[in-house]
Amino acid sequence: MSNAKQQRPTHKSPRARVVYAFLNGEGKDYQGNGKFQYVVKASFPAGAETDEFAARLDALGEDGLRQVNEQIMQKNALPGAKKMALKKGLTFPVYERDEESGDLVVNFKAPTQITNRKTGETYSNRVRFFDAGGSPVEKELNVGKGTQGRVFFQTFNWLSPIGCGVRLEPKAFQVLDLVEFAGGGPKTAADYGIEAEDGYTFEAGEETATNETDSSVDASEV
């Protein structure tokens, strides 16, 4: 019998719209505790495909809860901890539903580095990027709000004194329509909600008028 660790299956999401993402570099100190993570919050439009995805997430949550309870029942599963009661449900939901639109909102997050408990070796857990055709993108992308794509993820079941949950860990992101994050906040009129109206029109190369009266006042006259 092989002692090799079983590889966790990778799951594919439907097409999603990015609400925000931190998928490159050192990631994001998401909880302010010094533990950096890769994070993507994605919105899936209401519809049959999204409902099917929600059902799959429900099944992953139920399977994760079952595995957590199996861990609790194992002898010495939690060394040094008091006996824990079986969990009747996950402490945090796997997804949320927007009450107005019916859209599905899902948070994917994973630690930027993984440490092997046996060897102490630490290695990168970076998210891989692929284009619409499935070719790898050989650079880090600044994925911004409004980007369209698919998340490929694995699940990680966690158990602690505060409860239990199933984390959806992004492993790859397929970019279908990229909106790059430029940083520094809104940049265009649309970003501020400004709409075109009749009135002043700026022409490129227009010189800025100066108040010559103010600039020529003699100090002795003040």
- For 114-164, the pLDDT digits (tens) are 888 788 888 888 899 999 999 999 888 889 999 999 999 999 999 888 889
Whole-angstrom distance, CA of residue 147 vs CA of residue 145: 6
203 occurs within a structural domain: no
129 occurs within a structural domain: yes
pLDDT value at residue 216:
41
pLDDT value at residue 114:
84
Whole-prediction pTM value? Answer: 0.76
Cβ neighbour number for residue 110 with a 10 Å cutoff: 23
Q: CATH number of the domain at 25, please.
A: 2.40.50.140
Percent of the chain whose pLDDT exceeds 90: 50
212 occurs within a structural domain: no
Tell me the HSE value of 100 on the side-chain side, using a 13 A CA sphere.
0
Where would I find the H helices in the chain?
48-73, 189-192, 212-215
192 occurs within a structural domain: no
114 occurs within a structural domain: yes
Considering its fold, how many domains does the chain have in total? 1
- For 157-213, the pLDDT digits (tens) are 998 888 899 999 999 999 999 999 876 555 667 666 677 888 777 776 655 544 444
Residue 39 pairs with which residues in a beta bridge?
A: 22, 109
133 occurs within a structural domain: yes
118 occurs within a structural domain: yes
Candidates 141, 154, 153, 187; CA nearest to 21 is 141
* Residues spanned by the domain of 85: 11-186
Mean pLDDT of the region 100-122 = 90
pLDDT value at residue 21:
92
Whole-angstrom distance, CA of residue 14 vs CA of residue 53: 7
Low-confidence winner among 20-29, 37-46, 91-100, 177-186 (lowest mean pLDDT): 177-186
197 occurs within a structural domain: no
What mean pLDDT value characterizes the chain?
83
